[in-house]
């Protein structure tokens, strides 16, 4: 596995990371604890050194990751996040300094470590000045409890304000072939300020794998049930993008998921996607993207085709869309 450095200020990590969210949160019941640990360890054995979790994914998620990486803790980079009231993503934001400190202490215990390698604000809190939030993380860095500072789904102004207090190592936001909004202002800003970019949902919450269509039924607790982009009508309309990936994948002896990840890796050398999975064969498939090198003509062909494809459906329901920082 090749390595990449997250901007000017961040750590060196594997070119693909591992998003742990789905092991216990968002897509249905949590996986068996032993299975989750085995999958994380297998990811490490296959070259992944960058693992992403969050307080909001539940204590089980951080604990599973902490137990899994304990034998090789010093050889991996662990990222976690603060920013939701009582750690509940449905309860609104809370980035008060005292809350940030409390989350840091709890995460250190869950992760079985003495430092958090990358500590993200999960969402911007409109009630707490960015300077106060960033200043608190700066203090935690000075104390040795945190190594690097990150933001998630933050807008241009928020990023600039936070970065002026404590250099931002990485911005984590949604970015994929079916959500390219970061290309307009966020990626240019990251390049200007030397901030690494970590795309979450790089496979469009599974849609870009080609394994989901308008007839796919999700688990009753799967949050995609309330996402407009995953309505049966939107899935049917958005199939054109998956068809495009399928054609290119067939020519390259790859899978649609591998083409989608390879496209992201080709955008900038400081972009590190974090696909997640609960299945070993999907992990193997994702890792195979590192062997797919898209030529300039491939990228041009994809961009030309994307210009003609209109993606249907919002990526969040209305009540969550309001939380996105502009």
Which residues participate in catalysis according to the annotation? 57
Q: Please, how many CA atoms are within 13 Å of residue 159, restricted to the half-sphere of its CB?
A: 28
**Cα–Cα distance measured from residue 23 to residue 40, given in angstroms and rounded to the nearest whole number:** 10
Q: Which residues contact 297 (CB under 8 A, 6 or more apart)?
A: none
Residue 182's alpha-carbon distances to 4, 26, 200, 271, in angstroms, are 20, 23, 12, 12
Contact (Cβ atoms closer than 8 angstroms) between residue 54 and residue 87? no
**Cα–Cα distance measured from residue 218 to residue 230, given in angstroms and rounded to the nearest whole number:** 10
Instruction: Count Cβ neighbours within 10 Å for each residue of 237-270 and write b for 16 or more, e otherwise.
Output: bbbebbebbeebbeebebbbbbbbbbbbbbbeeb
Q: Where is 45: in which H helix or E strand?
A: helix 33-45
């Amino acid at each position: 596995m090749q390595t990449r450095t997250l901007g000017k200020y961040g750590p060196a990590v594997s070119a693909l990371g591992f998003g742990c969210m789905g092991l216990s949160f968002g897509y249905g019941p949590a996986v068996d604890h032993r299975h989750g640990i085995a999958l994380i360890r297998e990811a490490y054995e296959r070259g992944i050194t960058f693992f992403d979790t969050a307080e909001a994914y539940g204590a089980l998620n951080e604990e599973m990751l902490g137990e899994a990486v304990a034998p090789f803790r010093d050889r991996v980079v662990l990222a976690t996040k603060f920013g939701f009231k009582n750690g509940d993503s449905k309860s609104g934001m809370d980035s008060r300094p005292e809350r940030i400190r409390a989350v840091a202490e709890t995460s250190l215990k869950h992760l079985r470590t003495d430092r958090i390698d990358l500590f993200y604000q999960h969402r911007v809190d409109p009630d707490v000045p960015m300077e106060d939030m960033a200043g608190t993380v700066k203090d935690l860095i000075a104390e040795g409890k945190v190594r690097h500072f990150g933001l998630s789904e933050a807008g241009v102004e928020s990023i600039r304000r936070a970065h002026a207090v404590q250099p931002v190592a990485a911005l984590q936001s949604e970015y994929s072939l079916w959500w390219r909004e970061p290309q307009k202002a966020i990626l240019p800003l990251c390049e200007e300020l030397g901030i690494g970019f970590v795309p979450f949902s790089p496979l469009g919450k599974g849609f870009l794998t080609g394994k989901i269509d308008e007839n796919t039924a999700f688990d009753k607790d799967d949050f995609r049930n309330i996402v407009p982009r995953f309505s049966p009508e939107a899935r049917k309309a958005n199939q054109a993008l998956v068809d495009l990936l399928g054609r290119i994948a067939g020519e390259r002896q790859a899978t649609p998921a591998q083409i989608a990840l390879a496209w992201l890796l080709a955008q900038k050398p400081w972009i590190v996607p974090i696909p997640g999975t609960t299945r070993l064969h999907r992990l193997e498939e994702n890792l195979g993207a590192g062997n797919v090198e898209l030529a300039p003509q491939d990228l041009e062909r994809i961009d030309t085709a994307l210009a003609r494809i209109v993606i249907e459906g919002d990526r969040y329901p209305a009540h969550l869309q309001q939380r996105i920082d502009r």
